[in-house]
């Protein structure tokens, strides 16, 4: 982990013009809902941001085949907490892959889960980051020092709210297909 852990930063106010900007176009039940645009905190957590950026652009490859979020569903939605996606392998929260291998270490916990619209790594314990992520819909301080915040929504929070309000069934799985229909870098 980085020495950046020593000083907490508020990701809601942090911005750097050199950070990458990426987007998701979202559909719900095959209907276009709009675009979510993110700033990735490459200036704070460069490895985590680069993993996500490459999965947004399709630049990441396995055996020459592009890997990434295009066509990937949000598999878990919990109102007043978060929406989770990124499992393009199994589409159910069990898949893990990264540009660095099956998993990579927690890079820094300097950014905290201070409010809605934060992009954070979903993991299964310390140093187990991969392709899965979640977007907060409220402050989630109990996740601080357990999940790496690596970006924030800079436009499209209404689309996140639409995802958050989809009806769910068992295991908080959306009853309607909530899909990243297109993604890339701005």
Catalytic center residues: 76, 81, 84, 123, 134, 143, 147
Residue located via tokens 């993604």: 183
The contacts of residue 31 (CB under 8 Å, 6+ apart) are none
- Spatial separation of the C-alpha atoms in residues 41 and 152, rounded to whole Å: 8
* Cβ–Cβ under 8 Å, residues 85 and 12: no
- In this structure, the chain runs to a length of 186
């Amino acid at each position: 982990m980085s020495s950046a852990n020593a000083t907490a930063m508020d990701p809601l106010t942090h911005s750097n013009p050199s950070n990458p900007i990426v987007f998701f176009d979202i559909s719900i039940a095959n209907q276009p809902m709009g675009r979510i645009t993110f700033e990735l905190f490459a200036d704070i957590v460069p490895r985590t941001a680069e993993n996500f950026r490459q999965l947004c652009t399709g630049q990441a490859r396995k055996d020459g085949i592009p890997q990434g979020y295009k066509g990937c569903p949000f598999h878990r939605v919990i109102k007043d907490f978060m929406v989770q996606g990124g499992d393009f392998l199994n589409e159910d929260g069990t898949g893990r892959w990264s540009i660095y291998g099956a998993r990579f270490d927690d890079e820094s916990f300097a950014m905290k889960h201070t409010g809605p619209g934060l992009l954070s790594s979903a993991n299964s314990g310390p140093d187990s980051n991969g392709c899965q992520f979640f977007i907060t819909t409220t402050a989630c301080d109990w996740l601080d020092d357990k999940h790496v915040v690596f970006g924030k929504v800079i436009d499209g929070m209404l689309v996140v709210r639409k995802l958050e309000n989809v009806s769910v069934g068992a295991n908080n799985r959306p009853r309607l297909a909530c899909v990243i229909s297109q993604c890339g870098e701005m």
